[in-house]
Structure 1
Amino acid sequence: MDEQDINIPCPICHQEGQLRMVAHVDEIPYFGEHTQVTVMCHACGWRQTDFIPAEGKKAGAWSLLIDEPKKLRSRVVRSSSCTVRIPELDLEVMPGTNSTGYVSNIEGVLNRFVDIINMVRRDVVRDLSNPDSEQDELLDSLQTLDGLLESIENAGDASPFTVDFLDPNGHSMILDQDANERELTAEELKELPIGPDPAVFSSDDVTN
């Protein structure tokens, strides 16, 4: 895949002449043909990846009940506009300004939650070392975080939980025969963030 120069400044470090774009067309079973577009800055390392289906998609939500270990292998396509939720654990990751898309599986999605929980846990442990901190409150938080980690570690074996993908752009999908698809409600469409602006450039901005 050849990189193409983009003649605009990097949106993060604002360096000129450092942006490159790579576009790759691929076929994902049950998802169809899509274009993976990656924009990167060679100066600061910023990178944004997104997935654009060949056919237009409606805003929608996908849900999968994780009640057996084999569902951890279910493939997913998560675009930069997708909110991921685990309602039973009160966990949610919403797309921010630097959100990026990925193709993975349910286990990979859960690992991303684990990384975030562990990061918060390290902060709590650090704060506990401060004798002036609210020890009881921090210990409660630590217990809650450890409970979340245990629930995710036992995914498919212990109490089942649901993984939800909610995408206002309709570019995300859970590729499992047991996954449920539905339209987003008007309230969800109003409240859900749509992530970063798409990496769209005019033909004058892109050079081979």
Structure 2
Amino acid sequence: MCFCILGVLMENSNSKIECPVCHKFMDFTAFPYNTPNYGEILIMIISCPSCNYKDVSITSFKSSNPKRIIFKVENKDDLFVRVIKSEACTVSIPELNIVIEPCSKSQIMVTNIEGLLNWIKDLILEAKVILESDEGKLKCLEIVRKIDDTINGRYILTIILEDTSGNSILLSDKANVEDY
């Protein structure tokens, strides 16, 4: 199978590049992979044997019309719904005033609703560490509590995926999908 990086047609690729941490040579591997429900993606893996730095990046080959997916998490069964969040997707939870915008390090996430909520919870806890105000820290803990309550079936919230690439997927008949 072949793929294209920066306009160059390639097959599965293994090469050496400079490590961003220790500046020694590290391994770079890239290969295309055809996923069910999503299509072809490119998986890139870098690992440095000198300093043990590792990173995995996943990107999509396709693009569709921008779309918004709205999903209400109402019970524990909803936690098992499969989610594929593209690297261009904004994730929002209106009940918690959360908006997570894509950035240059964003990549495809393949998970379920519970995994997405735990990822958001981890981001909130990371933000709490750098906050100086007690009020901000308490707000973070309140958001984490509500996410935990949702995971335990005691709180209902709405997850909104807004994707400019149109590549995000939420595999449930309950999901409301619209163009925007």
Q: Residues 19 and 25 of structure 2 are in contact (CA less than 8 Å); yes or no, is this contact kept in structure 1?
A: no
Task: Report the CA distance shift for 1:104/1:70 in structure 2 as closer, same or farther (over 3 A).
Answer: same
Aligned length, in residue pairs: 165
Q: Residues 23 and 38 of structure 1 are in contact (CA less than 8 Å); yes or no, is this contact kept in structure 2?
A: yes
Q: Which residue of 2 aligns with 1:152?
A: 147
The equivalent position to 1:66 in structure 2, one of 56, 67, 73, is 73
Kindly name which structure, 1 or 2, has the bigger radius of gyration based on alpha carbons: 1
The C-alpha deviation readout for 1:115-174, integer Å capped at 9, x for no partner, is: 1111222334xx5xxxxxxxxxx2211221111011100116334211011111111011
The equivalent position to 2:169 in structure 1, one of 156, 168, 173, is 173
CA distance in 2, matches of 1:75, 1:52: 20
Q: Which residue of 1 aligns with 2:47?
A: 42
Identity %: 19
The equivalent position to 2:34 in structure 1, one of 1, 21, 25, is 25
CA distance in 2, matches of 1:161, 1:10: 44
C-alpha RMSD of the superposition: 2.7
- Give the deviation of 1:70 after TM superposition: 0.9
Q: Which residue of 1 aligns with 2:102?
A: 95
Instruction: Please identify which structure carries the higher strand content.
Output: 2
Runs of 4+ in 1 over 6 A off after TM superposition: 13-17
- How high is the TM-score relative to the length of structure 1? 0.69
CA distance in 1, matches of 2:18, 2:104: 14
Q: Which residue of 2 aligns with 1:161?
A: 157
List alignment gaps of at least 5 residues for structure 2. 2-10
List alignment gaps of at least 5 residues for structure 1. 128-137, 185-208
- Give the deviation of 1:68 after TM superposition: 1.3
